Structure 1
Amino acid sequence: MNLHAQSAVPPEKGWRIWWRLTRPHTLTAAFVPVLLGTVLAAKHYSIHGLLFAAMLIASLLIQAATNMFNEYFDFARGLDTKHSVGIGGAIVRNGVKPGTVLGLGFAFFGTALLLGVYISANSSWWLAAIGLVCMAAGYFYTGGPYPIAYTPFGEITSGFFMGFVITQIAYFIQAGKIDSISVLASIPISILIGSIMLANNIRDLDGDRESGRKTIAILLGRKKAIQLLAAMFIVSYLFILALILFFSLSPWLLITFASIPKAVRAVKGFIGKTEPVQMMPAMKATAQTNTIFGFLLAISFLISNLIK
């Protein structure tokens, strides 16, 4: 965080404190993969509604808990102050007790674990082990002595677990197996989820450098990190073309291109900016790109399922 910038997020009151604590703009990283995996399975299999609901809620809870651990550990390490820029800050700006934030995160994990037991009992107990690994990744993203978020591997980790793994689990619990299409379709989503983390790290580059982090944005520098963000967007859209041209998937997938203006806005929003508060709209546009792209991708598969 930039400790000297004026806060872009004023103190909240009531339920808005708790809503902001979940960092809702990141929750699409949990929702989109579950939706995509389920829609892909629906082409050949009947959808189990309760399993879908359990998987969706569990994924949202794990993502929200990860955000709360982020809130707690950023505060514990002195990275968050009343003047920090970002959607976090329930502890430093709103007076929420650190122990409450940490406890709520573990409570969300506990609820997700119970839902995981239900999912595993109705599909495969191997998913219990995979789910525990996902939860561990969520905790150690900012927790533990060597947080993943402080390394160059934050984007890869978040994209892999939230994009690839969650999509495959959502598909598996409906189909009982993993399909090549579910693997391929999850790749652009994984890239875009990683882009959300990269956008966050570009915004926080100066403050993160001061705190000793070694994120990919710091290692590359601001200009090249923005170029990497643009490249991640480009690869995601080119991958859609590849799915159509080389894997004979429906041309309906091209409707994902309607999200390109958001991606362009995200990249342009970072160019020439140095203050975190100036880059907040670009961060928002990055998350919106993932949301719109993911929804349209799921819709395109749903349409192709219905017309065949």
Structure 2
Amino acid sequence: MSIAVKDWLSAARLRTLPLALSSIIMGGFLAAKFGNFNATIFVLACLTTILLQVLSNFANDYGDTQNGADLADRVGPARAVQSGKISPQQMFRGIISLGVCSLIAGVLLIYVSFGGFTQLFWTFLAIGLICILAAYTYTAGKKPYGYSGYGDISVFIFFGLVGVVGSYFLYSKSFHPQIIWPAISCGALATGVLNINNLRDINSDKTAGKITIPVRIGRKNTIVYHWAILLVAIASTFIFVGNIENVKPYYYFSFALIIVNGVQVSKSSNPDPYLKTLALTSLAYVLLLGLSIN
């Protein structure tokens, strides 16, 4: 493998893909539970999500360097643009390429799901374009919303509500009220991953003027906030399974993993290792809950 390919793979931050796919897999499990699963839609939804996540990671690498958040002394893995391994021009071209690929995959997904250029096709196309725009403007552009503390709500919406409810709708063409609870859980766990990232970067973000929630409320309150996020995920799951028939108890194992993450983040001066573990925990949560309801 050439150095250039390694650098692009590093910038793609493949460790974030389990988290990105969690909401899509959850939507698939819910569709299977209510008798609407379609393998083609599932594969296309996963492909679109992977492309969007890599696009977001490229834009984050590009934008944080351009806006001064990725300094040489930052904690965590080195960024490709900041370290000089990929030039800003190359990264921007990568962002454009991923944007086009994401759009093509998304158009194919909703075309197959809705059977042509229906009204729902155009509605979901608009949602897809918003997702692409949100992925880029999180840290890139003149006024990235991630620098104003709106990253958490954005992650909650896109990795939870849009990911789970939206993907379920692609199968069923309808909304089932109970799916809002696992959507909240997935969104909360994804927000927890972002919170660990922002807690790790609290000092460099403060220097760069990136006003994340940890920068606003401080390290101690961020730990409390992190526990609140994790407990919302657990509570929402209890509400969901309490209204679903024939649920197996496998999902309880994911609660132990979630609680362990809260303890680890609380005790660590550098929570970076637990960012990856919470992303994997989110995927484990989805798989265990999915097996519990099917």
- Cα deviation for residue 244 of structure 1 reads 2.8
CA contact (8 A) 1:73 1:143 kept: yes
Corresponding residue number in structure 1 for 2:124 = 127
Corresponding residue number in structure 1 for 2:283 = 291
Corresponding residue number in structure 2 for 1:244 = 241
CA contact (8 A) 2:20 2:50 kept: yes
- Cα deviation for residue 88 of structure 1 reads 4.6
| SS of corresponding position for 1:42 | helix
Q: What is the distance in 2 between the residues matched to 1:189 and 1:88?
A: 28
- Cα deviation for residue 279 of structure 1 reads 2.2
1:198-217 to structure 2, matched below 5 A, reads: 198-217=195-214
Corresponding residue number in structure 2 for 1:22 = 12
Structure 1: gaps (5+ residues): 1-11, 303-308
Range 172-181 or range 263-272, more displaced: 263-272
- Cα deviation for residue 217 of structure 1 reads 1.0
- Cα deviation for residue 271 of structure 1 reads 3.1
1:58-69 to structure 2, matched below 5 A, reads: 58-69=48-59
TM-score (norm: length of structure 1): 0.85
Query: 1:5-61: per-residue Cα shift (whole Å, max 9, x none)?
Result: xxxxxxx94543222211122212321111111121123435332222111101110
CA contact (8 A) 1:81 1:89 kept: no
Letter in 2 for 1:32: S
Greater per-residue helix proportion: 2
Q: What is the distance in 1 between the residues matched to 2:178 and 2:188?
A: 16
**Alignment: residue pair count:** 286
1:41 maps to 2:47: no
> For residues 269 and 44 of structure 1, do their structure 2 counterparts lie closer, same or farther at Cα, with a shift above 3 Å needed?
closer
Choose the corresponding residue for 1:113, options 88, 99, 103.
Answer: 103
TM-score (norm: length of structure 2): 0.89
- Cα deviation for residue 141 of structure 1 reads 0.8
Choose the corresponding residue for 2:63, options 73, 78, 83.
Answer: 73
Q: What is the distance in 2 between the residues matched to 1:55 and 1:234?
A: 28
1:224 maps to 2:214: no
Structure 2: gaps (5+ residues): 115-119
| SS of corresponding position for 2:52 | helix
Q: What is the distance in 2 between the residues matched to 1:292 and 1:200?
A: 20
- Cα deviation for residue 236 of structure 1 reads 1.1
Corresponding residue number in structure 2 for 1:194 = 191
Q: What is the distance in 2 between the residues matched to 1:60 and 1:70?
A: 15
Corresponding residue number in structure 2 for 1:257 = 252
CA contact (8 A) 1:159 1:191 kept: yes
CA RMSD of aligned residues (A): 2.1
Query: 1:45-97: per-residue Cα shift (whole Å, max 9, x none)?
Result: 35332222111101110011001000011111233244433235122336112
CA contact (8 A) 1:20 1:87 kept: no
Letter in 1 for 2:60: N
Query: 1:123-175: per-residue Cα shift (whole Å, max 9, x none)?
Result: 13111011111111111111222212112221111111122102122111111
Corresponding residue number in structure 1 for 2:117 = none
CA contact (8 A) 1:237 1:257 kept: no
Choose the corresponding residue for 1:145, options 130, 138, 142.
Answer: 142
Q: What is the distance in 2 between the residues matched to 1:149 and 1:97?
A: 22
